[in-house]
Amino acid sequence: MKLDEFLRLNAPEELAALTLAIAKSSVTIWDNIPFKSGLLADVNPSGETQKAIDVFSNDVFVEALTSTGCAGEVASEEMAEPAEAKGGVSVAMDPLDGSSNVETNNPLGSIFGFYSKKLPTSGRNLIGSLYVTYGSMVTLTLSFGKGVHRFVAVREGADMNFELLGVNLKLPQKPEVYGIGGSAKDWIPPVGRFVDSLEERGLRVRYCGTFVGDYNQVLSRGGIFAYPQLVNKPRGKLRVLYETAPISFLNEQAGGYGSDGRQNILDLAPSELSETSPAYIGSAPLVRELEKAVLAG
Ligand code: F6P
């Protein structure tokens, strides 16, 4: 089944329009990565002024989302102030997650949260979220509060279409992988102890350094991703509104749990657009265990 047909049957109209705009734009982003990242600067076919790939991605998504008439505002990691528009949905996005990984060809991603209230607001006001991964395949994984579903981009002639790859994705019962951001020497002690115990339990470390790339494998294999509280960075690194709340929303739909070490990430109420928090996301039993350990200190 194609994405547009799926959305017609399963999504509120506004979210369907926003998702289709994102899907179309993600192909543009993917096509432009070698050029806008400067890797093929000399052969840029359009001949236009080079923009960094993250600024380019931001501009493409802002234009596409505001043109749907369904976004009321679009806030982005790349902009100090949201772009205002006339629709009803507040969109928060990280237009190109992991952009520092371009040269090494690690997966990159784009993350979107659809909120029913003006931003910044709590993850409890999410009505949907999705992420795109640009890896060995371009995939789009979404949830509108009724399960998690995944699509893959396939070329059909001159067009790219998104075909349904999986419905009602759930984190596997048996966790297999973990990935923890930052340097081990900077993690707060309970995180280090927990990681040692994961090794003893036979989980394998898998870390690519792009949040959605790392989360995506946790969703497929079971386990945990964390960008933890660091000794010298108590509020972690990842942004609540743009990154961790949207992924936590989707992760709960897949049967998982996301915590900042004290409480559900969805209960955080950021007062600033780019507020960060520690993030522990993945299989519910593991995240709850780590949350308990962090609380105990
Ligand atoms: O927020 C940007 C980001 O690249 C995330 O995608 C990723 O999880 C994190 O930074 C990696 O940070 P570090 O290199 O400190 O592990």
Contact 175 CB / ligand 1 (< 6 Å):
no
With the most atoms of ligand 1 within 8 angstroms of its CB, the residue from 53, 77, 97 to mutate is: 97
pLDDT (tens digit per residue) in 143-201: 999 999 999 999 999 899 999 999 999 999 999 999 999 999 999 999 999 999 999 99
Which of the two residues, 45 and 192, has the higher pLDDT score?
192
Contact 210 CB / ligand 1 (< 6 Å):
yes
Which residue's C-alpha comes closest to atom 4 of ligand 1? 98
pLDDT (tens digit per residue) in 63-113: 999 999 999 999 998 899 999 999 999 999 999 999 889 989 999 999 999
Contact 211 CB / ligand 1 (< 6 Å):
yes
Contact 187 CB / ligand 1 (< 6 Å):
no
pLDDT (tens digit per residue) in 7-27: 999 999 999 999 999 999 999
Contact 227 CB / ligand 1 (< 6 Å):
yes
Give the Cα separation of 148 and 67 in Å (integer).
26
What's the pLDDT score for residue 278?
98
Confidence of residue 35 (pLDDT cuts 50, 70, 90): confident
Contact 249 CB / ligand 1 (< 6 Å):
no
Contact 213 CB / ligand 1 (< 6 Å):
no
pLDDT (tens digit per residue) in 269-288: 999 999 999 999 999 999 99
- CB within 8 A of 60, min separation 6: which ones? 25, 28, 29, 95
* pTM for this prediction: 0.96
Distances (CA, A) of 74 to 11, 117, 118, 272: 20, 12, 10, 15
Q: How far is the CA of 209 from the centre of ligand 1 (A)?
A: 5
Q: For ligand 1, what atom is nearest to the CA of residue 99?
A: 4
Confidence of residue 257 (pLDDT cuts 50, 70, 90): very high
Which residue's C-alpha comes closest to atom 2 of ligand 1? 98
Q: How far is the CA of 179 from the centre of ligand 1 (A)?
A: 11
Give the Cα separation of 141 and 147 in Å (integer).
10
What's the pLDDT score for residue 40?
62
Contact 131 CB / ligand 1 (< 6 Å):
no
Confidence of residue 47 (pLDDT cuts 50, 70, 90): very low
Q: How far is the CA of 207 from the centre of ligand 1 (A)?
A: 10
